[in-house]
A and B are shown apart, each in its own frame.
Chain A
């Protein structure tokens, strides 16, 4: 059953998702996973927040992945997010010069995560945003959402996703400005203030 016969399209069916479980911590996170911005880049922003469950408790074991374009709106095609040392097998991390656009952060014991990345530029008809993918123990299928940055009201109003949402739900996708290029974005998996999650078709 698990050899897929590509000559029969009807047999090419998706592999089901499963939870990332509790024990990915020594496998998936890597040093500097959230330090996506090249060192000293003037367009660096810091995004940070908490991941909460349906009772408002923070998740100490969530994994957040961020993916976004550069300030010019271009999608990075650069590898090297998790560079390794071929001699020791250890992690070298990013080189601090190139921008890969992608990062991976595990929430800490308080359920907090942060990343430093470059302010995303606009693409297509959308207001600028960072794509977010959330994984956790208990989450059988990961969740996609977006971090929109506040400021450009016209762009946010014209965004095709945001325009279709009721105001209260829309606000869950817009980070709060903390000043000095810092933004707060909490992810609520369930209940009051539940974050808008996305399904791509």
Chain B
């Protein structure tokens, strides 16, 4: 029998209740989704059953994972962070400016690191050949951007508002509009791939990927804030989104954590 939204809603509610019970029983807040999250069906065969093996980085400051690959000006071009300028013409859609800071768990900026983004066009279609959604492609939009963070950890992209799109997790499954982010920290342990959402999207409660983050406050951290100060007059609407990287880095050892 085809899986309906109602089936998924019930599973999402059950996962949420289970998390509520864990918290009530004194378990720690879960900032990250569990890899085993059945409402997102693709996770079923792709999550490890064994718990991860813990590595205490304080025992060995030489671990290569405590250092990060380096990226520099030659790995990007000047217009990589303006996705509206990658073709001859202007892409269709509402232009947006997305900006924020890349921080570590101590609130310190991550400087000079690579931020990569990709997204659907304004009609909700990816420029990917496996994409089957029949919304129109935009010949003036690829939907890929890169930049390096500046000395205060800031990044900035100009793009168009991505559209929501259907997928095949269940019948009538729709992803809320989002931009995919891939970022590096000062240590490889801080590597992060995630998705940024836009405020007040009515699709949030139906989406098992967003809901895989069962902690309410953690889920809110995936949603950008409309920022009028970032809006560019006569040009674009501004969204602010800061990222905080999890995972230890070398400074944890210096401070003896």
Contacts and interface: CB of A to CB of B under 8 A. Distances in A.
Q: Is the interface of A mostly helix, strand, loop or mixed?
A: loop
B31 A16 contact: yes
Among B42, B127, B142, chain A packs the most CB atoms within 10 A around the CB of B42
Interface string A100-116: 11100000000000000
B64 A84 contact: no
B43 A17 contact: no
A139 B35 contact: yes
19 contacts: A1-B225, A15-B192, A15-B245, A22-B130, A23-B128, A26-B126, A68-B64, A80-B75, A89-B86, A102-B69, A124-B62, A138-B44, A140-B37, A142-B191, A142-B193, A143-B35, A190-B48, A195-B48, A197-B48
A143 B189 CA distance: 10
Given A12-B244, A138-B43, A140-B40, 16 more contacts: A4-B244, A14-B221, A15-B246, A21-B195, A22-B130, A23-B118, A67-B69, A67-B188, A84-B77, A100-B70, A139-B43, A140-B43, A143-B48, A161-B53, A190-B47, A198-B53
Interface of B: 31-35, 37, 40, 42-50, 52-57, 59-65, 67, 69-80, 86, 100-101, 103, 105-108, 116-118, 120, 126-128, 130-131, 142-144, 180, 182, 188-189, 191-195, 209, 212-213, 217-225, 227, 240-248
B103 A12 contact: yes
Interface stretch (A38-46, A128-136, A177-185): A128-136
Contact of B130 (A23, A69, A76, A144): A23
Nearest to B109: A6
Interface of A: 1-4, 6, 9, 12-28, 53-55, 57, 59, 65, 67-69, 75-86, 89, 100-102, 120, 123-126, 129, 131, 133, 135-144, 160-161, 164-165, 169, 189-191, 194-201
Among B65, B107, B193, B195, chain A packs the most CB atoms within 10 A around the CB of B193
B46 A136 contact: yes
Contacts of A138: 40, 42-47
B212 to A, nearest CB: 5
Contact of B59 (A21, A160, A195): A160
Contact of A125 (B60, B142, B144): B60
